[in-house]
Structure 1
Amino acid sequence: MNHYGKALVVMGFFALTACQSASKPETAAVAQDPESDLCGASQYQDYVGKPLSSLNSQRFDHQVRAIPYNSAVTMDFKLNRLNFMADKSGNISRVYCG
């Protein structure tokens, strides 16, 4: 019985390590597809966490849309438009093209 108990513990350990998921890569380390980043959103990822109002004093090369939390926006998709989406606290949570 003693050997069976040890074998079960070892098998349980291996079963749990097999179920472990891989860690999520950092967004900066993920290569951007040039065709899906026509607006240059990858250049503005440092705005994530800043207040949405910080965009008021900035000039951009592309069309920009600031999206407050829980607001209605049109569903038209423009690859060259830069979108800044805010969370409940008014901070930018996502920067993307579309």
Structure 2
Amino acid sequence: MTRIPLVLTLIALPAMAMAQTTDDPDLTDACGASGFAGLVGQSGEIADMLELEQTTRVIRPGTIVTRDYRLDRINFDIDDDGTITRVYCG
């Protein structure tokens, strides 16, 4: 009987982790993406050339990405024209 609650807890952990949101203002820019907001509208090649300490991810149309949320990762969204459209943590 004591194993059932433990098993249910272990099954629920991944769902609880995925349910995390970034409503906390201290966490919405944990990676420092706001410092790169000036790159929006610039060529996506700039994002490719950046050498940063934290993990970065350049996301172009059709790019396959994981759905994991990492507070320390900066994401650069690139549109069909090769322009940076969004910079955010995650």
TM-score (norm 1): 0.62
Partners of 1:85 and 1:56 lie apart in 2 by: 11
Q: After TM superposition, list the pairs within 5 Å mapping 1:1-98 onto structure 2.
A: 33-98=25-90
What does the per-residue CA deviation read over 1:21-40, in whole Å, with 9 as the maximum and x for residues that have no partner? Answer: xxxxxxxxxxx922221100
Q: Which runs of 4+ in 1 moved over 6 A?
A: none
- The answer to whether the 8 A contact 1:39-1:82 is kept is yes
Any idea what SS the aligned residue of 2:58 has?
Answer: strand
Partners of 2:53 and 2:26 lie apart in 1 by: 17
- The answer to whether the 8 A contact 1:85-1:92 is kept is yes
Partners of 1:67 and 1:34 lie apart in 2 by: 24
Structure 1 residues without counterparts, runs of 5 or longer: 1-31
Partners of 2:62 and 2:49 lie apart in 1 by: 23
- The offset of 1:92, in angstroms, is 0.5
Structure 2 residues without counterparts, runs of 5 or longer: 1-23
- The answer to whether the 8 A contact 2:44-2:84 is kept is yes
- The offset of 1:57, in angstroms, is 2.6
Count how many residue pairs are aligned between Structure 1 and Structure 2: 67
Question: What root-mean-square deviation, in Å, do the aligned CA atoms of Structure 1 and Structure 2 show?
Answer: 1.6
TM-score (norm 2): 0.67
**What amino acid is the match of 1:90?**
G
**What amino acid is the match of 1:48?**
V
Which of the two has higher C-alpha Rg?
1
